[in-house]
Amino acid sequence: MDDSLLAVKGVSKTFGGVVHALDDISLAARRNEIVGIVGENGAGKSTLMKILVGVYPPDKGELYHKGEKVPFPRDPKEAAKRGISIVYQEKGVIPWLKVYQFLFLGHEDKYVKFSKLQTDKMKKQAADILEELHVKCDAEVFMHELPLSTQKMVEIARAILSVRLESGEDGTTPIIILDEPTGPLNDEERRELFSDLLEMKKNASFFFISHIIPEVREFTDRVHVLRDGKLVANYDFSEEKIEEEDLFRAIVGRESSEYISKVEIKGLASKTVALTAKDLTKKGHYYDITFDLHEGECVGIFGPAGSGKSQIIRTIAGIMSFEKGELVVNGQKLKASELPYVRLKKGIGYFSGETGKELFLNWPILKNISFVNMQKILGKFMPVINFNAERKMAQRIVQLLRIRTPSVNTDCYSLSGGNKQKVSVGKWVERKPDILLLDDPTIGIDVGAREDIYEVLSEMKKSGICMILVSDDPKEYSILCDRIMFVMDGRIQKVLSPDEFRKVVGI
Amino acid sequence: MTTRPGLSREWLRKNMTTVGPIVFVIAVEVVFQMINPFFLKYQGIISLIYSMSYFLVAACGLTFVIMTGSFDFSVPSLLKLSALLCVLYIEDLGLWVIPLALLVCVGFGFINGLFLAKFNVPSFMATLGVSIVVEGIARYLSKGFLQIMDDKAFRSLSTTFIAGLPSVFYWGMGIWLISIFLALRTPFGRRTYAVGGNLIGAALSDTNVARHRIYVFMLSGFLSGLAGVLYMAQMGGGSVEMGADMAIPLFASVVAGGTALTGGVGGPHRTLLGVIIITWIQAGMNMLAIGRDIQMLTFGLIAIGMSIATIDRKRKIIK
């Protein structure tokens, strides 16, 4: 720890005294290095970083700055005084500000003279710092005119600037936390960003949070792997050669691998085709996507973030439109710009694991379940909701999915994440669409709830419902899918069997 | 554990938007009764019913719009336009003027909905614009004169006494009950709550969100028109100036009942309480000869106060 710039020791954090978000974490950043922090959703990456910038206080732990013990910051301003600043994943940029205005946002009070803003001084300083940090842009253009990667760089420059302005001395090396900075970028922009970052390393240290393994391996000096709030592995790329597979294994862990072999469906070739995609294209997102989906089959669309997999599934759901190609469901050709409700009528249901996206949080469970199953609970003679039938339907689903709740009248707000997700799945179990699209169905929920959901989805598969899966979790593909299409840069590269897939990702 | 006091406080907090208006109604009643013993005598009740019933009809329509998280500024002007159409053309058309007036209002409701659903104009702006257009049409048609309605058959719509109460009361109650039924027991109502509660969620179900929003605005237009017909029938005349100060009390009555401007919460069943609060205060103040100025001030404060009390602060409001 002697040469470390910033170090944390034994940091723990629990939420509500139950969930161990962080358990005894110790790590450090040295001068001029990029430290990768990787892990699944909910592994604790963001919590750790929020503790560093003073958003949350830790329950336990110590913070060292240049070897000296210091208290944890209580707010972002205090963190900036110690040299720590963060660039958030998104929503960081204000498009209608000019670059120099954005750079000094929140620090204008330091540039006021006779109650007038000294814009010339700001512009000059902005140009200086942009040059110093090798950000290639004009200080007087609007943010939205810049390419995404440059916008990110300006954000990083702003973080470094805020450290300098707050700490007051030039000697402090800024420690910048980058929270999944490459999310919205395409491959070229990514490479651009990284070559700029390597330049910036001369002036700062970085914590680089990501779940995209190749970029972490390529651009960071060291990497810490978090899983379920624990530090499970540390790798130093200067000392050892680390394969992507090693990282993958460390991130994903092996806990529920025994589940993998539970579900298998054979003999699909003889089944009828439910959905056909032919040369589906939307420029800038995906190109020439062609595949068949058979009755009772689950096809996975796998690929790194930004590969176009989410766009493909959202196109089939009707959230996005396609430009070229053909989409045929049950022999019926679909229009390119149909909305989700039309697709649902034709038998395509869309289930997203994003909390609150399709769930009505202020509604009780029973209304959530009945909402897409309205036809089943209407009276015989009049289109009037039969409350009794509605309650019975919900009770059946609650039992089937083992949803933990005092009653079906409980508002979904008060359910845990896993149980919320089960309610979302439950309504599709009842609806039984011909095709169910799964968009990250178990994102951010615990293993127990996951397995319950997998079990129900497998049951649905057996009954002939076919599915398309997109997920951030490779395990999920090997559990649910019969075929996995590997997508990169918007094109299908390879179609893998589950066994081949497991070998490729190493699980 | 001593959960009881905590529990009851919790219950009160959760049901504040229901308990609040009821307590308020009782308080209003007691105060006015003390000041003016005739407040709840037969004559007082009749005048209360007259000021309340048509109001309730219009408020029910507005409630549906607010439940979807939108707003309809055009309710008072459509009410006025419908009333004026009736009085202006009753001689030419006879009672056929009623369906005509309703149709016109439904049409404007459709336009409101179209602006929102197809062109994504915020409903505040779209309906404000439409209401000004409607205002202009009303002014043009009536030429600013006071118009007298002397068709007996038309007037009997509101003023026939059944079991001691004027027929407008039964209209109001009937529409109110139908609205409740529509909101709570039909897919239409469920979808209305859904659109207001979680727009994306509604779009991902089998709800045609754009069409539903148009339907809701058409319903609001229809009920505004009906309220206008009833209003004209009970008042027996009016000029383009009528309903000028109806807007704020109308909006206040919906929120006072507990339908949050964020959408997805509340419903027409609650609007009755809001209408009672507003119209009773109005009537009480009129009896005490309290001027319009103080009245407007009061309703404005009630509207803002209830918005604060009912709004779902976990969500964004601007729509």
Question: Do A145 and A9 lie in a common domain?
Answer: yes
pLDDT per position as a tens digit, B170-210: 999 999 999 999 999 999 999 999 999 889 899 999 899 99
Q: Does A408 map to a domain?
A: no
Q: Does A443 map to a domain?
A: no
DSSP of B228-295 = HHHHHHHH-EE-TTTTTTTHHHHHHHHHHHT--TTSSS--HHHHHHHHHHHHHHHHHHHHTT--HHHH
Note the maximum CA span of chain B.
75
pLDDT per position as a tens digit, A329-351: 988 899 988 999 999 999 999 99
Q: Does A396 map to a domain?
A: no
Distances (CA, A) of B25 to A310, B6, B40, B59: 53, 27, 13, 17
Q: List the domain range (segments joined by +) for residue A71.
A: 4-252
User: Residue A254: which pLDDT band, with cuts at 50, 70 and 90?
Assistant: low
Question: Do A201 and A293 lie in a common domain?
Answer: no
Mutation for testing the A interface, residue in B10, B186, B198, B211 having most A CBs under 10 Å: B198
**Complex-level ipTM:** 0.84
Question: Do A247 and A273 lie in a common domain?
Answer: no
Looking at per-residue confidence, does A84 or A263 come out higher?
A84
**CB distance from B182 to chain A under 8 Å?**
no
pLDDT per position as a tens digit, B211-265: 999 999 999 999 999 999 999 999 888 888 887 778 888 888 888 888 888 888 8
Question: Do A148 and A221 lie in a common domain?
Answer: yes
User: Residue A266: which pLDDT band, with cuts at 50, 70 and 90?
Assistant: very low
User: Residue A19: which pLDDT band, with cuts at 50, 70 and 90?
Assistant: low
Question: Do A197 and A316 lie in a common domain?
Answer: no
Q: What is the CA radius of gyration of chain A?
A: 25
Helix (H) or strand (E) holding B111: helix B97-119
The residue-averaged pLDDT of A3-15 equals 83
Q: Does A374 map to a domain?
A: no
Between CA A439 and CA A363 the distance in angstroms is 23
CB atoms within 10 A of CB A259: 16
Chain A: nearest CA to B60, how far in angstroms?
20
Lowest mean pLDDT among A152-161, A221-230, A320-329, B11-20: B11-20
Boundary of a domain, candidates A252, A277, A293: A252
**CA-CA-CA-CA torsion sign (A373, A376, A380, A385):** negative
Boundary of a domain, candidates A201, A222, A252: A252
Looking at per-residue confidence, does A261 or B271 come out higher?
B271
Nearest residue on chain B to A341, alpha-carbon basis: B206
Q: Which residues contact B53 (CB under 8 A, 6 or more apart)?
A: B158, B166, B168, B169, B171, B172, B173, B230
Question: Do A150 and A245 lie in a common domain?
Answer: yes
Chain B: nearest CA to A295, how far in angstroms?
23
Residue A2 has pLDDT above 80, yes or no: no
Residues of chain B with Cβ-Cβ distance to A412 below 8 Å are none
User: Residue B312: which pLDDT band, with cuts at 50, 70 and 90?
Assistant: low
Mutation for testing the A interface, residue in B14, B186, B204, B316 having most A CBs under 10 Å: B204
CB atoms B198 and A384 under 8 Å? no
Boundary of a domain, candidates A204, A227, A252: A252
Average model confidence (pLDDT) for chain A? 83
Question: Do A150 and A42 lie in a common domain?
Answer: yes
What are the beta bridge partners of residue A209? Answer: A37, A179
Among B104, B58, B95, B51, which Cα is nearest to B79's?
Answer: B58
Helix (H) or strand (E) holding B13: helix B4-14
CATH number of the domain within which A504 lies: 3.40.50.300
Residues of chain B with Cβ-Cβ distance to A341 below 8 Å are 203, 205-209
Closest by Cβ to A383, choosing from B186, B198, B204: B186
Q: What is the pLDDT of residue A261?
A: 40
Residue B107 has pLDDT above 80, yes or no: yes
CB atoms A360 and B206 under 8 Å? no
Are A455 and A485 in contact by the 8 Å Cβ rule? The answer is no
Q: What is the pLDDT of residue B14?
A: 66
Q: What is the pLDDT of residue A467?
A: 93
The residue-averaged pLDDT of B58-80 equals 94
Between CA A322 and CA A283 the distance in angstroms is 9
Residue A390 has pLDDT above 60, yes or no: yes
Q: What percent of chain A has pLDDT over 70?
A: 90
Q: What is the CA radius of gyration of chain B?
A: 20
Chain B: nearest CA to A362, how far in angstroms?
7
Q: What is the pLDDT of residue A204?
A: 83
Residues in chain A: 507
Chain B: nearest CA to A359, how far in angstroms?
6
Chain B: nearest CA to A107, how far in angstroms?
28
The residue-averaged pLDDT of B261-273 equals 87
Closest by Cβ to B205, choosing from A356, A362, A372: A372
Among B81, B83, B79, B87, which Cα is nearest to B60's?
Answer: B79
Question: Do A10 and A73 lie in a common domain?
Answer: yes
Q: Number of C-alpha atoms within 13 angstroms, CB side, residue A477?
A: 28
**Structural domains of chain B in order of their starting residue, each with its CATH number:** 31-144+151-310 (1.10.3470)
CB atoms A341 and B203 under 8 Å? yes
Closest by Cβ to A362, choosing from B204, B207, B265: B265
Q: What percent of chain A has pLDDT over 90?
A: 19
Q: Does A279 map to a domain?
A: yes
Average model confidence (pLDDT) for chain B? 86
Distance of CA A19 to the CA centre of its chain: 20
Residue A249 has pLDDT above 70, yes or no: yes
Q: What is the pLDDT of residue B284?
A: 80
Q: Does A440 map to a domain?
A: no
Residues of chain B with Cβ-Cβ distance to A357 below 8 Å are 200-201, 204
3-class secondary structure per residue, B193-232: HHHHHCHHHHHCCCCCHHHHHHHHHHHHHHHHHHHHHHHH
Looking at per-residue confidence, does A421 or A185 come out higher?
A421
Per-residue b or e along A376-394, where b marks 16 or more CB atoms closer than 10 Å to that residue's CB: ebbeeeeeebbeeebbebb
Question: Do A279 and A193 lie in a common domain?
Answer: no
* pTM tops 0.90: no
Question: Do A224 and A278 lie in a common domain?
Answer: no
Distance of CA B74 to the CA centre of its chain: 11
Q: What is the pLDDT of residue A42?
A: 63
Total count of domains within chain A:
2
Between CA B108 and CA A246 the distance in angstroms is 65
CA dihedral B248, B254, B260, B262 (to 10 degrees): -60
Q: Which residues contact B250 (CB under 8 A, 6 or more apart)?
A: B55, B58, B59, B62, B75, B76
Question: Do A97 and A181 lie in a common domain?
Answer: yes
Q: What is the pLDDT of residue B103?
A: 97
Question: Do A149 and A44 lie in a common domain?
Answer: yes
